[in-house]
Structure 1
Amino acid sequence: MKNKEMKRSYSCLNFILFSLVFSALLFNLSEKIRAEATLLSENSLSSEEAGFPKTPAGERAAHFTRAFIMMDRAGLERFFAACLSGEKLKSISAKERVMKLLSLRERLGNIVSVKINQLSPEEFSLLFQGEKDEGCVINLKFESKNEGIYLVAMTVEEGEPESFLPPVPPLPPDQALEEIDRQIREISAQDRFSGVVLIARDFKPVYFKAWGLASREFGVPNQLETKFNLGSINKLFTKIAVAQLIEKGLLSLDDCLGKFLPDYPNSEARKKVKVRHLVEMTSGIGDFFGPDFERTPKDFIRHNRDYLSFFASKSLAFEPGSKQMYSNGSYVVLGEIISRASGIDYYEFIKRNIFDVAGMKDSAWYEADEPVPHLAEGYTREISGRHKNLSKEGGGLSLKENSLERKGKVNRNEASGETKHIKSEDLINLRLINMESEIKGKKEETGAFWRKNIYTRPARGSAAGGGYSTAGDLLKFIVALYSFQFLSPPWTDWVFGGSEPGRNPEEKILNPDRRRWNLAVAGGAPGINAVLEFDGYSGWTIIVLANLDPPAATTISRLIRRYLPKKGTQTFLFPGHKRESDWPLDL
C-alpha cells in the first residue's frame, strides 16, 4: 500500500514538472509569436512606402527604420524580440540593445533624411542624417531559416556621404594599395590629413606610411614612430583593466561606486551606480566638459582625479541603468576605482598590466610640458569655446541642409520624452542616392590658419582619454588582446562585445569564435583624431593617427575600408605575404 502511494506521488510530481517545463516552452513560443504578430501589424510605414522590397527582410527593415526614427522604444524591443534568436537575447536583452540605439538616436536630433542601400536581398545599409550635422550608418543583415526571418548581424558606424559611394570594383592587391596611397597623398596635399597610417593583414603590416608635420613651427615631419594623442581610444585600456581586476577577485561589475570611493560627493551615485553602469555608460554621471572646465587653466589638470571636480558633485542625469548616455565622467570614475581596488595608481596599473605585457614601449599619458621625443603637436582650426568635445567621437563632414531632400521632421520634447507622430508619407525620404557628386563638391576649408591645441587640451589625459601611443604599439596591443595575453578567453570575448562571463549560467565560453570579433574605436577633439579598427573574420587591422581636427583620421579609415575586401573574402594576398592558415590564427 505504501509503495503504491509512493508511485502515485512520483507520477504526480513528474506530471507537474512536465507541465511546468511545457508551459515555459509554450510561453516562450507564444512570446515569440506575439512579438512577430505585433511587428507585422504595424503598417504605418510599409516596405513599399519606404522604398524597401516587399519581402520578409524588407518588411523587417522598414519596421526597424520607422521605430528608430520615431524613437519608439517598444517598437524596437518588439523588433529584436521577433528577429533575434533566444540565445542572442539571453546574451544581450532586447531592452539593453534598444537602450544603446536610443542613445545614438538622441545624438542625431531631428532626422532630415534617410537613404537606403540594398546590398543583397536580405542585407540593407541605412544612412540616417540628422540636423546636427551628424549621421550614422546602420547595417542590417537577415537570414531565412526554419520558416522564419532572423537578424544575424547588425553594425552601427558613423555616417558620412562616403558611406554610399558606389562600391569599388575588386582590384589586384598592388593596385588597391596604390589607389589608397594616391588618395591619401591627395588629401594630405590639401592639408586635410597629417599623421600615420598602418594597414595590417593577420597582424602583418602591408602598408605603413607617415604624412605631414609633427611640428609645423619647426618643420619636423611625422615619422612611423611618432607618438599621437589617442583621445577616447584609451577607454579600451580602462575596460580591460576592469576585467583584469574582476578576474583577480578584486572587483565585480555589481560593486557600487561607494564601495571604493566612499568620499564621492554625490551620495545617490555612491549607493546606486554600479561598476557595470560606468562601463556601459548607463550611470547617469555626466561629462567633465562645461563652463568650469573651460575656465580652468589646463595646466591645473595633471591627474585623473583632477577631473572629478568638474562633475562629481552634480546630480545624476537619470536613474542608473535606465538609459545610456556618452559619459567621459564614467570612465574617469572607473580610473579611480581601478586605483583603489588594485592599490596602484591608475597610470601605473595600465603600464604594468597592458603596455608592458604587450611590449608597448612608446605609450603613456605624457604631461603637456614634458619634453617627449617623437611626439606630434596637435593643430586645430577650432577656436576655444567652439570646439567639439570628446563625446562626439571623430566629428565628420557636415552636410548643408539644402543638400538633403527634407520631407519630414521628427520633433521630440526633451523634457517629457514625448514624440510627435507624423504621417508616414511625410516621415522620411527613402531612396537610393549616388552621393559622389556631393562629396566632390565638399572641401575642407583651408583658408583658416592652424593653432596649437594647448588651450583646449588638459596637461595630462585621464582614464577617459588623452594618452599617447604609436601605430606600431597599437598593432602590438591588438595582437596581445587577440592572443589572450591580457585576459582569459571569456573576458576577452566580453571586451570584444560578447556576453558577460557567468551572467548566463547556461552559456560557457571556453573557446570563443574569434572570427566574429571586431573592434572599431575612435577618439577626437581639437587637434586630435585617432582610429583603431580590427575585423576578426578578414584579419584586417586599420590604424590611423592624426594631429589635426576630426575627421582627419576617420576620413582616411573609411577610404581604406572601401578598397579592402569585405568579410568572407579569403583570397586577397599581397605580394610576398603568404597566408599560412585560414583565419583565425592560433597565436
Structure 2
Amino acid sequence: MSLSRRASTGVCTTAIGRRLRLAAYLRGAVAVASCPALVHAQERPCDAPAPAVDSVLQRIVSATNVGTFVAIDRLIDSLWNGTRMPAERRVAMRSMLGRWHWQSTMLTPVRRCASGASAYMILANAQSGEQDSLHLVMIPAANRIGGFALVQGVHVQPDAKDTATDTARASALRALTRRMAAAGTFAGEVLLAHDGRILYHEAVGTANRASMRAAKLGDVFNITSTGKLITATAIMQLVEQGRLSLDDTLGKFLGPGERPAGAAGVPIRTILSHTDGMTRDSDSLSFRPGTRFSYVNYGYFLLGQVIEKVSGKPFAEHFASAIFAPAQMRSTMRLVLTQVDPALPPAYNVEFDSTGIRFETNPLAQTTAATGAGGLFSTSLDLFRFAEALRTGRLVSKTTLEQMRTPRRELGATDYGFGVDLFRGHNVWGHSGAIPGAESELELYGDSGYVFVLLGNVVTGDPIRRLANALIGTRPFCAGGCV
C-alpha cells in the first residue's frame, strides 16, 4: 500500500503557508518551541545564545560535519552526561545526525538566535544549497538538553539569474540534481517542462547499488501515492459521464463485507477529499464524514473498488483505456510480482549505524500490488504526459479540473481537493508520495504551464523539489481555486 509523505512525515506550517519536512524531533522533559519559530529565527532581530548554549549548538554541528558513528556517539554521551537516554531516542538522534551529514557534506553556521531557554542556529548546507535550522531547548536548572529538532530546507533562495529564463531555471535544477547524484544522495529521474516543452529531463545516480547500474531514462519507479491523482481523475470522468455522482454513497456500489459496516452512507466526495472518517480494519467511522481532514489510504483503496463496480473491469484496465491511452502513457502499469524484478531499480531505505550509511532494500515496494490508493509503476515522461493531458482538458473538462484542485474547506480539507494535494502553497498543485525506498513528486504551478516530476528509489529528493518550487512556484499564476 502506498503511503503519502503527508501521512508518514511531520510537517511545520509557517505564517506564509509553506510546509517543511521535520527531519527529526527528540523531546526531553520539556516541549520544544513551535515550528514557525524555527523558520523565522533567520528573518527577525534576535539575541545571541548564551555561551554555554552556543557551545552545545556548535558541538552538534561539529560532530555532524565529521559524520562518523564514533563522533556522533561521543557527542550524545557528552550532551546527556549523567542522564540515561532511552535507547530508541539515542538511535533516532544518531541516525538523524548521520543522515544529515550524508545530505549536507558540510554545514556552515549563518545565524544564531536565542529566546529564553531556546536557541536556534541557521546553517548553510553545502550540498543542497539551502539553509537548515537546528533548534535546541535547554533545561537551565539541570543544565541539560530538554528538546532538540532539525528542519531541513527552511530557506531556499535561488539567485535572481536562475529565475530570469526557462533555460536558467533548467540549468539551476540540473546543477543541484547532478550535485546530489555525485554525492550519492539521489538516484532517479527529474523532469521540468513549460507549456508542453521539456526544459530538463535526466536520469542520474546509481539505480542498483549492488550491480552499480546507473539510472537511465525509461526506468520505471513505484509512484506511490501520486497514483491517487489518477484514481481521482478516473472517478471524476465517471461523474462527467453521469455514471456516478459525488453525492452517491459508498453503499450504492459496495455491499456488506466489501466496505466497513458503518460506511454505507459515506459520500464519494468525502472519500476523494480524505474527509470520510474511515479507517482500515474498523467497521465504525472515526468522525462524521465531511467534518475534518484525515489522510488515510483506505478510502482510495475503496475508490478503486468503486471504479471496478461502475466500469465492469479491473481498475488498472479501466485506467489503461480511460487515462493512459488518451494521455499517451506507454509505460505505466500495475505490477503483480511475487519476487523482486532485478531489471527494476531496487527500493532503498537509508540507515545509519556503526558501518556508516547503509542501504537496505525494500522488496515490498515491488511485490505489493497497486490499488486505488497508489503503487502503480511509471516513468517521469509518462507522469509528464498525464499532467499535460489533465491540465489541458484532455482527461476532464476545465470546470471539473477546477473542482478537483479547489480545497474542500466546506468538508474540513483546507489544503486538499478531490485527489489534488495543495499543501505546498504558492499555487502548487498535484500529488506526491513516499514509502521506504520510493518517492514521487508531480507538481503543477497554477495555470502557468510548468510541470515538475521527480521519481527516486531513495527518499531524498526534497531539496530538488524545493528548488523547483522556489524557481517557479512562488510566482502567482492563478487567483481561482488553485490558490
Matched residue of 1:240: which SS?
helix
CA contact (8 A) 2:229 2:430 kept: no
Alignment-derived partner of residue 263 in structure 2: 269
CA contact (8 A) 1:176 1:563 kept: yes
Alignment-derived partner of residue 360 in structure 1: 329
Normalized per residue, which structure has more strand?
2
How big is each residue's C-alpha offset from its partner over 1:368-408, in whole Å with a ceiling of 9 and x where there is no partner? 3478796322111269xxxxxxxxxxxxxxxxxxxxxxxxx
Alignment-derived partner of residue 466 in structure 2: 558
CA contact (8 A) 2:273 2:408 kept: no
Normalized per residue, which structure has more helix?
1
Matched residue of 1:197: which SS?
strand
Cα distance between partner residues in 2 of 1:283 and 1:445: 45
CA contact (8 A) 1:538 1:567 kept: no
Indicate yes or no: 2:258 matched with 1:325.
no
Following TM superposition, by how much is the alpha carbon of 1:267 offset from its aligned partner in structure 2, in angstroms? 2.2
CA contact (8 A) 1:210 1:224 kept: yes
Cα distance between partner residues in 1 of 2:376 and 2:351: 21
Following TM superposition, by how much is the alpha carbon of 1:455 offset from its aligned partner in structure 2, in angstroms? 4.3
Q: 2:404 aligns with which of 495, 498, 505?
A: 495
Alignment of 1:213-292 (within 5 A): 213-263=206-256, 264=258, 266-270=260-264, 272-286=265-279
Following TM superposition, by how much is the alpha carbon of 1:110 offset from its aligned partner in structure 2, in angstroms? 7.7
Matched residue of 2:388: which SS?
helix
Matched residue of 1:162: which SS?
strand
- Gaps (5+ residues) in structure 1? 1-63, 69-108, 119-131, 134-158, 287-310, 384-443, 501-515, 570-587
Cα distance between partner residues in 1 of 2:323 and 2:368: 23
Indicate yes or no: 2:162 matched with 1:168.
no
Following TM superposition, by how much is the alpha carbon of 1:361 offset from its aligned partner in structure 2, in angstroms? 0.7
Alignment of 1:387-536 (within 5 A): 447-455=356-364, 458-497=367-406, 518-536=428-446
Indicate yes or no: 2:350 matched with 1:381.
yes
Following TM superposition, by how much is the alpha carbon of 1:313 offset from its aligned partner in structure 2, in angstroms? 4.2
| 1:218–1:483 distance in 2 versus 1, CA, 3 Å | same
Matched pairs, number: 329
TM-score normalized by structure 2? 0.61
Alignment of 1:80-159 (within 5 A): 112-115=34-37
CA contact (8 A) 2:157 2:470 kept: no
Matched residue of 2:323: which SS?
helix
Alignment-derived partner of residue 201 in structure 1: 194
Matched residue of 1:320: which SS?
coil
Following TM superposition, by how much is the alpha carbon of 1:523 offset from its aligned partner in structure 2, in angstroms? 0.7
How big is each residue's C-alpha offset from its partner over 1:537-576, in whole Å with a ceiling of 9 and x where there is no partner? 433211111011x2x222211123334484269xxxxxxx
CA contact (8 A) 1:191 1:446 kept: no
Following TM superposition, by how much is the alpha carbon of 1:531 offset from its aligned partner in structure 2, in angstroms? 0.6
Matched residue of 1:448: which SS?
strand
Cα distance between partner residues in 2 of 1:315 and 1:330: 13
- 2:384 aligned partner, one-letter code: L
Following TM superposition, by how much is the alpha carbon of 1:461 offset from its aligned partner in structure 2, in angstroms? 1.5
Percent of pairs identical after alignment?
28
Cα distance between partner residues in 1 of 2:168 and 2:338: 44
Cα distance between partner residues in 2 of 1:476 and 1:168: 30
Indicate yes or no: 2:184 matched with 1:191.
yes
Following TM superposition, by how much is the alpha carbon of 1:185 offset from its aligned partner in structure 2, in angstroms? 2.1
How big is each residue's C-alpha offset from its partner over 1:340-361, in whole Å with a ceiling of 9 and x where there is no partner? 1121211111111001111101
How big is each residue's C-alpha offset from its partner over 1:413-467, in whole Å with a ceiling of 9 and x where there is no partner? xxxxxxxxxxxxxxxxxxxxxxxxxxxxxxx999232121114665311110111
TM-score normalized by structure 1? 0.50
- 1:318 aligned partner, one-letter code: F
Cα distance between partner residues in 1 of 2:174 and 2:365: 32
Matched residue of 1:114: which SS?
helix
Cα distance between partner residues in 1 of 2:261 and 2:161: 58
Give the number of the structure whose alpha-carbon radius of gyration is greater.
1
| 1:354–1:446 distance in 2 versus 1, CA, 3 Å | farther
Cα distance between partner residues in 2 of 1:194 and 1:446: 21
- 1:170 aligned partner, one-letter code: K
Matched residue of 2:230: which SS?
helix
CA contact (8 A) 1:225 1:374 kept: no
CA contact (8 A) 2:161 2:168 kept: no
Following TM superposition, by how much is the alpha carbon of 1:232 offset from its aligned partner in structure 2, in angstroms? 0.3
How big is each residue's C-alpha offset from its partner over 1:287-336, in whole Å with a ceiling of 9 and x where there is no partner? xxxxxxxxxxxxxxxxxxxxxxxx24443211222221011000001111
Matched residue of 2:434: which SS?
strand
Matched residue of 1:450: which SS?
strand
- 1:539 aligned partner, one-letter code: G
